[in-house]
Amino acid sequence: MKTSTKDNTNGVFHKMTGRVKEIAGKLIKSPGLEAEGKVEKAAGQVQEKIGQVKKVIGK
């Protein structure tokens, strides 16, 4: 599997996991879990973009 595909896939996974944590944090009124979810979601978005850039430049 190409590194661009791995980065893209992992980014999507972290983005979804972060979103689930964010929603769970809101539901149980846990600001820590909600913040953790937001951070993980943002990291996933960055990793996904890295994968897209690698795909464009051919790595």
Half-sphere exposure of 29 (CA within 13 A, CB side): 0
**Which pLDDT does position 59 carry in this prediction?**
64
Express each pLDDT in 2-57 by its tens digit. 888 899 999 999 999 999 999 999 999 999 999 999 999 999 999 999 999 998 98
Question: Model's pTM, two decimal places?
Answer: 0.84
Spatial distance between the Cα atoms of 34 and 27, rounded to a whole number of angstroms: 9
